[in-house]
């Protein structure tokens, strides 16, 4: 996605059209299902997806919630969340 903007804390990401979050019993965990692709999520990725793609939630609000929930430094959480969301956006799983 050349020339596309990166995810910032003011963004309100959501799952891309055709992408759904599902529990996959065969894999024993949560996945993002998109057209002709599957992304298996670990526990941390699942929390980021659930927190940062909720209706009208900004990334900053999601980072604040995650930092509080995990009692972790906000700056470290923000860097990791932004990296993950940018990767998911580049792979077509989320949109801004």
Contact 59, 81 (CB under 8 A): yes
Angle at 51 between CA 11 and CA 89, to 5 degrees: 45
Task: Assess if residue 10 is contained within a domain.
Answer: no
At 27 the pLDDT is 84
At 59 the pLDDT is 97
Over the chain (96 residues), what is each successive 10-residue block's mean pLDDT?
Answer: 74 96 93 94 95 90 95 96 96 94
At 76 the pLDDT is 96
Task: Read off the tokens for 26.
Answer: 């065969």
CATH number (domain holding residue 28): 1.10.10.1150
Number of structural domains in the chain: 1
Long-range contacts of 43-51 (CB under 8 A, 24+ apart): 45/84, 48/81, 48/84, 48/85, 49/15, 49/21, 49/88, 50/21
Task: Read off the tokens for 80.
Answer: 């990791």
**Three-state DSSP state, 4:** coil
Range of the domain at 37: 17-95
Task: Assess if residue 12 is contained within a domain.
Answer: no
Contact 13, 85 (CB under 8 A): yes
Contact 58, 9 (CB under 8 A): yes
Task: Assess if residue 8 is contained within a domain.
Answer: no
At 22 the pLDDT is 96
pTM for this model (two decimals): 0.88
């Amino acid at each position: 996605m050349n020339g596309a903007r990166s995810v910032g804390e003011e963004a309100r990401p959501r799952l891309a059209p055709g992408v759904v979050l599902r529990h996959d019993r065969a894999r024993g965990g949560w996945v993002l299902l998109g057209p002709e692709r599957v992304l298996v999520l670990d526990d941390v990725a699942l929390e980021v997806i659930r927190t940062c793609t909720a209706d009208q939630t900004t990334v900053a609000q999601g980072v604040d919630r995650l930092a509080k929930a995990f009692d972790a430094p906000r700056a470290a959480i923000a860097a990791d969340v932004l990296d993950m969301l940018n990767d998911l956006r580049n792979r077509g799983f989320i949109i801004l």
